[in-house]
Amino acid sequence: MDEATVDRIEYLVGSGKAVVSADDETIAAMVQEAVKSGRTASFYVSREQSARIRDAHWTPELIEASNLEPVSSEEKASIEAELGISDIGRFRFGSFSCESGHRFGALAFLRQGIREHGADSVRSIFEMKNSVLLRVNPHFVVHCPECDQRMDGGITYEGDTYGGCSYPDPPVCR
């Protein structure tokens, strides 16, 4: 390990984060345990580790229960035109509606992400080449983009470089 890598690890740990290095099976077990426990965590994993976790987690039954569907070409075009994110890859999102019937889909989700974290941060997630950000049980406060109504429940999304699921009550993700 070179000095620059150690310096980056030292910086992360010094800012209150943990850095874990383990074999693929151990990493997958850590992610699965976080999902099952309901604890919130973010994991930056290799694409290979992500594929292993994805294959174990996303059963056909869970995909159906989560309403997880590929983002349409029309919505992808809107994401590119409005947000400047040119390639979201194979991103899937579990769309839902507020009580007034307004749809909250991938475009609204990414808009909110840009408001909270900035455009560069959101774009950088989709531009990662070697890693995948897995958000386990993230906590989002979502408001309808049309009527500003607070929308309770979980958000489920999954893609080449970014994936996550929230636990609504009752849980959708298992």
Is 174 domain-assigned? no
Is 54 domain-assigned? yes
DSSP letter (8 states) at residue 145: T
pTM of the model: 0.83
Contacts of 153 (CB under 8 A, 6+ apart): 96, 166, 168
Domain count, the chain: 1
Is 173 domain-assigned? no
Is 84 domain-assigned? yes
The predicted pLDDT at position 60 comes to 85
Strands 162-165 and 131-136: parallel
Angle, helices 47-57/24-37, rounded to nearest 10 degrees: 50
The predicted pLDDT at position 66 comes to 82
Is 15 domain-assigned? yes
128, burial (CB in 10 Å: exposed 0-12, middle 13-18, buried 19+)? middle
Confidence of residue 168 (pLDDT cuts 50, 70, 90): very low
- The range of the structural domain enclosing residue 65 comes to 3-165
The predicted pLDDT at position 92 comes to 93
Note the pLDDT tens digit of each residue in 6-65: 998 899 999 998 889 999 999 988 998 888 888 889 999 999 999 888 888 888 888 888
Note the pLDDT tens digit of each residue in 105-135: 999 999 989 998 999 999 999 999 999 999 9
Is 171 domain-assigned? no
